Amino acid sequence: MLRKEGNSYGEIKNKLGITKSTLSDWLKELPKPKFSDLQKMTREQKRIENYISTMKDKRKRRDEIEFCSESKLIGSLSEREMLIGGLCLYWGEGGKTSLSQFSISNSDPDILLFALKWIQETYQVQLSKVRVRLTIYDTMEKLKEVNYWSEILSVPTNQFRKVMTKSGSGIGNKGFRHGTCEIVVSDSILKRRVLSGIKALRQNA
């Protein structure tokens, strides 16, 4: 009955728990079923979905193995390694023009969380000195995005400056789904130390 309905050997095997070799022997006298266009589309869609699911599982397992390997290789960061990692981050992402403001802007929360941990542990910057600027699209809700970044960064909303908006939706770029966030510390000594550290990296590389 299942075969006459258009089910493949594989589909019948999964439904009844019978091996393909047994099915082949049982059903060899039946003609190969003719599939309608709709059945063909459904079978092809299932095949594609199964392929996508299989590839996702493979990538997930591969990523887990690679993460474990790299995590063991990196281990815990020493104070010096944390210093160098933060300086490299600021070298690439930080503001360079102002001599009195330390600032890093990004749409990736993990980058900003690392930056906050870096300045707190390396330079003993208090979180109360941090100010936050947001740039979002005009289709986003200001209060919702402020609360999102406040919770992620553990920075109170009263330390946020005026939210800037721009036209668009940001839908085409997943990285901007909560806008762009900038952490700012007005501290000329901190800024000089960071820029001097970057200069030392450049010379010693």
pLDDT in tens, 62-116: 999 998 988 888 888 899 999 999 999 999 999 988 999 999 999 999 999 999 9
Instruction: Looking at the structure, tell me whether residues 113 and 196 fall in a common domain.
Output: yes
Query: Is residue 3 a part of any domain in this protein?
Result: no
Instruction: Looking at the structure, tell me whether residues 139 and 45 fall in a common domain.
Output: no
Distance, in Å, from the CA atom of 178 to the CA atom of 168, rounded to the nearest integer, reads: 13
Question: Mean pLDDT throughout 135-155?
Answer: 94
CA angle (121, 79, 89) in 5-degree steps = 75
**Domain final residue, candidates 26, 53, 70:** 70
Instruction: Looking at the structure, tell me whether residues 23 and 101 fall in a common domain.
Output: no
Is the model's pLDDT at 154 over the cut of 80?
yes
Out of 28-37, 57-66, 131-140, 176-185, pick the least confident: 28-37
Query: Is residue 1 a part of any domain in this protein?
Result: no
Instruction: Looking at the structure, tell me whether residues 66 and 158 fall in a common domain.
Output: no
Instruction: Looking at the structure, tell me whether residues 30 and 99 fall in a common domain.
Output: no
Query: Is residue 2 a part of any domain in this protein?
Result: no
Tell me which long-range contacts 35-43 makes (C-beta under 8 A, separation of at least 24). 35/6, 36/6, 39/6, 43/8
Q: 120-133: b or e for each residue (b if 16 or more CB lie within 10 Å)?
A: eebbebeeeebbbb
The total number of structural domains in the chain stands at 2
Query: Is residue 151 a part of any domain in this protein?
Result: yes
Q: Which CATH number covers residue 154? A: 3.30.1330
Strands 164-166 and 130-137: parallel
Query: Is residue 99 a part of any domain in this protein?
Result: yes
Instruction: Looking at the structure, tell me whether residues 98 and 15 fall in a common domain.
Output: no
Is the model's pLDDT at 60 over the cut of 60?
yes
Contact partners, residue 125, CB within 8 Å, separation at least 6? 119, 185, 187, 190
Instruction: Looking at the structure, tell me whether residues 57 and 99 fall in a common domain.
Output: no
Is the model's pLDDT at 184 over the cut of 60?
yes
Is the model's pLDDT at 13 over the cut of 70?
yes
Q: Which residue has the higher pLDDT, 52 or 200?
A: 200
Instruction: Looking at the structure, tell me whether residues 46 and 132 fall in a common domain.
Output: no
Q: How far is CA 191 from CA 55, 71, 125, in A?
A: 46, 31, 12
Structural domain boundaries enclosing 61: 9-70
Is the model's pLDDT at 29 over the cut of 70?
yes
Instruction: Looking at the structure, tell me whether residues 29 and 111 fall in a common domain.
Output: no
